[in-house]
Amino acid sequence: MMMSGGIRYYDVRHVTGQTTHIDIDNSVIESAGTSFFSTAVLRVLGPSGWGILTIDNYTSPRGKEFDSLLESAASLARITTEPVNLADAPHGVLPVPAMREDPREVSLEEKTGVLGEIESAARLPGIVNSRATYIERAEQVSFIDSSANEYSFEICRSGFNIMAVASREGMVQMGYERLHSIHGLNIRHQQELGRLAGVRALSLLDAKTAAGGTMDAILDPELAGVFAHEAVGHASEGDLVHEGNSVLSGKIGERIGNSLITIVDDPSLQEFGFDPVDAEGVKVGRTKIIDQGIVGAYLHNRETLASVGNGVPGHARAMPGEAPLVRMSNTFIEEGDSSLDEMLEGIHNGIILYGSRGGQVDPGRGVFQFNAEYGFIIEHGEKKGMVRDVSLSGEILSTLHSIEMCGKERKMSQGYCGKGGQSVPVSDGAPYIMLRNAVVGGSGTE
Amino acid sequence: MGHPISCSGTRWWAAVAPNEDYMPEDIASLIDTIISTGETLAEEVEVFIAGGESVSAELKRTKIGIAAGSYAVGLGIRTIDHGHIGASGTSDPSAWRKCLDAAISSGTLATPQEWGGLPLSSVREQPLLSFDPEVWVKAEIAEAAIYQMLTGAEEYPVNVTSGSADISTGYLSLANSHGVRYSTKKSSFSVSLEAISDQSTGYEFDQSVRMSVDPVNVGKMAAFFAHHGRSGEDIPTGDYSLVLSPMAFAQLLGSVFVPAVNGRSVHAGRSKLANSLGEVVADTSISIFDDPFRNYGPGSTCWDAEGVPTRRIDIVRDGVLTEFLYDLKTGYRYGKSSTGSALRSGYGGSPGIGYHNLVFDGPRSGIRDEPAIYVHDVVGAHTANPMSGDFSVEISNPSWIENGDFGKPVRKAMYAGNVFDLLKNIEGLGHGERVIGSMVLPEVRLSGQRIIGV
């Protein structure tokens, strides 16, 4: 269908909502309140590429007023030269799971009180600062396109972070826990996580800096999830493959890892990265990026499916007021059949690492980095002294070969992923995994 | 978690907008209405309105795939009543009443603060320090910059993967119930390009308040780094001399040093520098200061986000830690004066503490003359530990430099260290400087830094 002005396609994604936050710092309620937003993105596909308009406080105009917005976007598209085509893709919306307790129905005062209990639980003797933050974001999303696809849904994400800081003789260390959910208010009865943050900060005061070098490593489920996200997930994103900026380009069907490794991205999974439908109205589902060590599929939107192929659409995601990009959602390594004891037994000299403050990847170069919060040296299969601030780096095309064991139980952790200036909610997960000859970064020399 | 290579802060600040009359009458009258209504509900009221327009062009390989424009607007309201500070924001200024009510009810929950009042109107001269009327938000200008970058990239046999040109202008208005009525305009032009050759990637960017970016050079340098990094050699783990580019150094400083001099972190027990005022925290040749009056500085302003007049803040002078950064709330609580360091990252919520233009300075010398490993950028700076200062990151485009020029590339190297320690181990600063975000810094030479090779 060709519309006026050479417009081949358009869509509008309008998001309205409210954000509630609470910040309790050393028992002082620093702030607690709600802000409101309404923003829309109008995308027009002209004769070549996209013209995109972001409009704050969008009023869903009809008739001539809407036509004039279409014309503005089409006029932007005139400078584009790339021939963009959209692949057909199945449409459809999943139901958003019902919340156990809708956070919006609990008063800000009550939520502040409950959060305060987590914050005070972190204040153990020796802790110099504890800070708890609560964030709740409710979005009403409506989508319409020129092919008469239309959907709307509402989703509310909420959760908390708790940080504890311990200090001694000029040394400052922190412990950090977080829990975020799409299933409703999750801050009740979480004092144990507050206490854990405090215990972690205190024990890190006695941890040593790890010695950098190559060694065997066991990653806990949270860190192994970040590993899957950085080492494989980004490089499988169809836009990077299309740009020639991924080492996984042209590798479909090739073995890049041990056959016990399967890595999946699944926005339909009811975890923190859940989307009932993607940002282009496409049905969401499970994509096996790595299937028993072999590159199985790329993550796509309609545009990159058309230009690259070899993959699955339904992976377009966007922040409110931003144009959709190809993104991960819930990314994980499938379970294997090893136990943690078996992994430990297999290591003579190595390290076991826990938790993460994130990571980063250069997908074209094929090199990634990710960070562990803490770990323990392993000697002859036994956990010894604690180490802090350890990062790992690796190379995408070889790193999966070094995974020798996968544990039996997968656990998902929540976070946010940044790309192109946009931050979207994701979850990552894995069982425990064991890597041979990992490159561990630390400034210690022993 | 993620891939923040091209993160550029919130779109809000990127999208600061145009407008000939930057305090339009309808905005002025809206502000008066909100303040007079707010004064019936709270002792003090503060109103912040910002809006803007932006345009960008995005490359997919060598063709423009996306041209985008945006119109942004937002209203923030803060109320203070007997020390109860409340705040709210909305993208719909006509819904100001709902926003005002949300601010008031937010204040009732917050713990009452020691509070000495919002500032009176005192800033008389308000030059537009971060604005250039020559910056036009036109798609054709972004388009031209894109093609200039591609021309620059032709200097080396590489493939361009992506790039962008962004132009934005905007206005900010700040008002309070003590008569403050400040307004300003901002402008910004930025370009970036990524290229690849085999498995060697190169990234470069340029930014300015003015039209003075150099797209040809950005294209050329991105292509150079991609081309130069092919066939790198592995190096053994050990201690090396390094030259950090302004881009790499800015990332490490931003992740660790900046939060450590934030007055709130300092008094809350979250800063390693909390007890170091008057002590040597950097090489004695080094000074670090916030210069809010820098001509065409990206963060330049005569008043901060609470209307406090800004001033130069000498954070580190000749290596000695001399001052922390404060906003009003933190200042009143701890018996300090605001340093004019309140900043807003959007219209919602309360302002936080930050810097306007953070300048890193000291004597300059030819720091590339002796051999060292050059660090163009780092991967994973945001995973540094902001409390301890420890970091371990992957180096982008590691390469030997010899006799002032690029020598053999290094294939892969991790860099592990501590930001607080490296400030004391600075051997020299290079000639020239670059603006990275709102930081202004030169290249930095360090010795004895731990590199984990392969």
**pLDDT tens across B127-166, in order?**
999 999 999 999 999 999 999 999 999 999 999 999 999 9
**The pLDDT of residue B59:** 97
Q: Helix, strand or coil for residue B199?
A: coil
- Domain at A4-204: CATH code: 3.30.2290.10
> pTM score, two decimals?
0.93
Task: Give residues with Cβ within 8 angstroms of A331, minimum separation 6.
Answer: A225, A228, A229, A233, A263, A264, A265, A273, A426, A427, A428, A429
**The pLDDT of residue A212:** 86
Amino acid type, B303: W
**The pLDDT of residue A2:** 54
- Please identify, in words, the CATH class of the domain defined by B4-225: alpha beta
3-state helix, strand, coil in chain A (%, to 5): 20, 45, 35
Judging contacts by C-beta atoms under 8 Å, the chain B residues touching residue A351 are none
d(CA A51, CA B65): 9
- Unique residue bearing structure tokens 């001033």: B311
**The pLDDT of residue B24:** 64
**The pLDDT of residue B21:** 42
- Unique residue bearing structure tokens 């993460």: A356
Task: Identify the burial level of A153 via C-beta atoms within 10 angstroms of its C-beta, where 0-12 means exposed, 13-18 middle and 19 or more buried.
Answer: middle
Judging contacts by C-beta atoms under 8 Å, the chain B residues touching residue A272 are none
- Unique residue bearing structure tokens 């709210």: B88
Q: How far is CA B376 from CA B185, B213, B242, in A?
A: 33, 19, 11
Amino acid type, B209: V
d(CA A346, CA A349): 9
Nearest to B380 among A173, A174, A360 (CB): A360
* Domain extents in chain A: 4-204, 209-443
pLDDT at B299 over 90: yes
B83 neighbors B355 (Cβ within 8 angstroms): no
pLDDT at B16 over 80: no
DSSP single-letter state for residue B20: S
> Both tokens of residue A369?
């980095």
Judging contacts by C-beta atoms under 8 Å, the chain A residues touching residue B347 are 35
Nearest-10 crossing angle of helices B96-109, A108-121: 40
Tens of pLDDT, residue by residue over B260-289, are: 999 999 999 999 999 999 999 999 999 999
DSSP single-letter state for residue A210: P
Q: Do A80 and B63 touch (CB under 8 A)?
A: yes
**The pLDDT of residue B22:** 47
In angstroms, the separation between the Cα of residue B124 and the nearest Cα of chain A is 32
3-state helix, strand, coil in chain B (%, to 5): 25, 35, 40
A411-444 burial: b if 16+ Cβ within 10 Å, else e: bbbbbebbbbbbbbbbbbbbbbbbbbebbbbbbb
- Most A CBs within 10 A among B200, B392, B396, hence the mutation to make, goes to B392
d(CA A131, CA A175): 11
Which helix (H) or strand (E) is B205 found in, with range?
A: strand B200-208
Judging contacts by C-beta atoms under 8 Å, the chain B residues touching residue A368 are 379, 394
Task: Give residues with Cβ within 8 angstroms of A3, minimum separation 6.
Answer: A10, A70, A146
Give me the residues of B, 246-265, that contact A with CB < 8 A: 264
Selected residue with higher pLDDT from B426 and A389: B426
For residue A426, what is the nearest residue in chain B, using CA coordinates?
B1
Polymer length of chain A: 446
A198 neighbors A409 (Cβ within 8 angstroms): no
Q: Helix, strand or coil for residue B277?
A: coil
B333 neighbors B61 (Cβ within 8 angstroms): no
ipTM score for this prediction: 0.93
Amino acid type, B168: S
d(CA B377, CA B50): 33
The per-residue pLDDT string of chain A (446 residues; one tens digit each, 9 = 90 and over) reads 557 779 999 999 999 999 999 999 999 999 999 999 999 999 999 999 999 999 998 989 999 999 999 999 999 999 999 999 999 999 999 999 999 999 999 999 999 999 999 999 999 999 999 999 999 999 999 999 999 999 999 999 999 999 999 999 888 999 999 999 999 999 999 999 999 999 999 999 999 988 889 999 999 999 999 999 999 999 999 999 999 999 999 999 999 999 999 999 999 999 999 999 999 999 999 999 999 999 999 999 999 999 999 999 999 999 999 999 999 999 999 999 999 999 999 999 999 999 998 899 999 999 999 999 999 999 999 999 999 988 999 999 999 999 999 999 999 999 999 999 999 999 999 999 999 999 998 777 65
> Both tokens of residue A239?
């836009």
B78 neighbors B87 (Cβ within 8 angstroms): yes
- Mean of pLDDT over chain B: 92
Tens of pLDDT, residue by residue over B64-103, are: 999 999 988 899 999 999 999 999 999 999 999 999 999 9
Alpha-carbon radius of gyration of chain B: 23
